[in-house]
Structure 1
């Protein structure tokens, strides 16, 4: 049964349309990310759920009850801000227990709930420290504990990991998911970080220009992007445009007088213009006696070492393509001409060519 439901949410600031017709439903216990670039409307949508911004139109329902006209302090939601917003003069335990104090929760119930949530976020041993004595990751967990200790029906996260360095952010993604699953709290997170959204979410809502342009499980949205924008924003991709032509060998994508690529037969009708997305990890370098010639030839103009993988850029007759190859031996040299090949099923037809 739907637990959180957004129906036709809109927000206008005079002539500026921040959010246009956002509709979304979440099941109890589900983790949903609103993913998109700056200005796409994701934070405004979260603020409307929290009650900090009043919708121009539309409705919000939580567990079957209307939420749109309820004041923020009466919604009972847990919110973790990008800045964490910890009280610097309060200890960890006092920060976590603040929401319970506002709700007149007395001892021993207050102490038990603070202790339980601090154990869950693995900060019980730091309960008497001030925020300035904590690392960034520890401060983030204090903010999360403070939001969860009130047992909110809904947890809202606004770029919760953006202030952490890359290594700590990756560690905290796993920690955040563990904590959310332990509590079973329905969660909506705003982020512009694609890796974060894919690592944490049950479903991702990709937003652009105030609208949700695709909603689905991380692996589905990544593997089957609906538009060029989604393909390019959720990870990196190669976009190839051409005209469809039916030949004796099947459907082809005619890119130029020199290039006609095989493509899936179900992508459209002959004569139509079509765009395809091919992920960098789906393309293979071939040649050097392998017996494969590939769909294209390209010259390696750049290679970058990333530890577990190499990233290559090749100039081809369809433009510059990017490849990701696992680090499994000697890399291909810059300046070399190589064949490129991929499975037809990895050519994904997408709408629009402007990513």
Structure 2
């Protein structure tokens, strides 16, 4: 199209005939025709720009995976395309009204072609192998029908090109519908995956909340047990202090009693020594009188001496064992309480 327009402009520019030698209607026709060609060129470029913009919007809608059906998208696209054509034609007509050539033979109406009429015309051209170029088909333009003489614009060499264009258009529409169907399938798969991920995320969040609540309860119980163990430990420390004081008192009592026992033992020993002296003296006297009485007195003295020593030994042992037992019992009780406290604390954790 650009090449044809440029060739037309070149042909007009190559005309070297001066303007003053031309007839005024011819010069006006040439100027008007040049202006029409320029307007047509501008409209054509605007049309291509609108078409590219529409194609980009359709591609973006297909890539974004819109949930709209391909039929709705194509209808919206056709409506926007029609509105773009109408605006372009209106701009072309109102931008320079002087460039329009008034021809009484041409009937002007709404420039938007009816798509159904064009589709029927193309199907008729493909179905009829022997196309009658002299026939004058009617094409509906807007709300009117005008005759279009195909012998002026269509030749035999243009039929394959028209058929190729029609096939390419059908192929492009089919590819577009396939792409939209694929995009719809991929969008449905992605939506299912997103739903599954959302459900998994909600389940994980619920599990985390449940675990956090359980951990809070465990921490609360452990804090209560820890406070209880601290109180018990404090009470055990107080008991240990009291036990130490009691042990000291018992030790002082035992030491006082031991001193008293030593004093008593000293007295007993002194008394025993005097008694033994008397017994020995008695034994000597008896031996002097009779040997039999001397031996019996000696045996009695030895028996009393052994009984006395045994009594003193048992008393010392008893006092020592009592003191040791008291100390051991207090230490053992304290260790048992501390051990139970530590074990309970460890089990709580």
| Structure with higher RCO (Cα < 8 A, 6+ apart) | 1
Normalized per residue, which structure has more helix?
A: 2
Q: Of the two, which has the highest radius of gyration?
A: 2
Q: TM over 0.5, yes or no?
A: no
Query: Scaled by the length of structure 1, what TM-score is found?
Result: 0.19
Normalized per residue, which structure has more strand?
A: 1
